[in-house]
Amino acid sequence: MTRLRPLAILGGTFDPVHHGHLRGAWEAAEALDADVRMVPARTPPHRPPPVADAAERVALLRAALAGQARLAIDTRELDREGPSFTVDTLASLRAEIGPDRPLVLLVGADAFAGLASWHQWQRLFDLAHVGVLTRPGSAHAMADELAAFVRHRHATRVDGPAGTVVDIAITPLDIAATAIRESFAAGHEPRFLMPSACFADEALLAPYRALATPAP
């Protein structure tokens, strides 16, 4: 029987995309032997609106992903009205790829620890596996409800279409989109925190450079 290659997704605002996002997605692709789709959020339910609009964030992602084929962009959350609930995205993907192909939701260890606060979080496991991107030395306490729910779901590899939790060790890159926006706001250039392709066209970073306060 032919093995179905897993499809993994990494969601986020990507405001802006940086090497931490990209390296984590790439290492997950290699660890799972999976294709990975980067899924920019339209309206994040639990955070302020992004600085850059949807088209601007997609343009940055396209520049960042140029030259390789394993990481791709999926704009379904941008094309859908209303809040970007992960369970809706997974349901849409499951309907697209069929019932048998492994589907993996990639989340950071800190986000996974708070999974029980997500919309219809238990249903996520009916639709996909959860790949937890872990960094050496980091630890995040889970709520009792989540800990009990996943106690018997831990696995060392993805097997079957959905339902397990798999830890994926990634390189610890201490890069945050918030710090990058703050750098732009201070009038600096946060080079080498983002792909050089993002700096090749000045228009790509215009929303962030506009954060800088002109000198009096």
CA–CA separation, 126 vs 140, rounded Å?
24
Q: What confidence tens digit (pLDDT) does each residue in 2-39 have?
A: 679 999 999 999 999 999 999 999 999 999 999 999 99
Kindly state the percentage of the chain with pLDDT values over 90.
Answer: 84
DSSP 32-53: HT-EEEEEE-SS-TTSPPPSS-
Q: How far does CA 139 lie from the centroid of its chain?
A: 19
Q: What confidence tens digit (pLDDT) does each residue in 74-120 have?
A: 999 998 887 789 999 999 999 999 999 999 999 999 999 999 999 99
Mean pLDDT of all residues belonging to the chain: 93
Give the strand pairing for 35-40 and 71-73.
Answer: parallel
Contact criterion met (CB below 8 Å) for 104 and 128: yes
Helices (H), 5-143: 19-32, 54-65, 76-79, 86-97, 109-113, 124-127
Kindly state the percentage of the chain with pLDDT values over 70.
Answer: 95
Contact criterion met (CB below 8 Å) for 175 and 140: no
Q: How confident is the model at residue 216 (pLDDT cuts 50, 70, 90)?
A: low
Contact criterion met (CB below 8 Å) for 121 and 115: yes
Amino acid at 174: D
Sheet holding 103-108, edge to edge: 71-73, 35-40, 7-12, 103-108, 129-134, 165-169, 154-155
Residue 45 has a pLDDT of 66
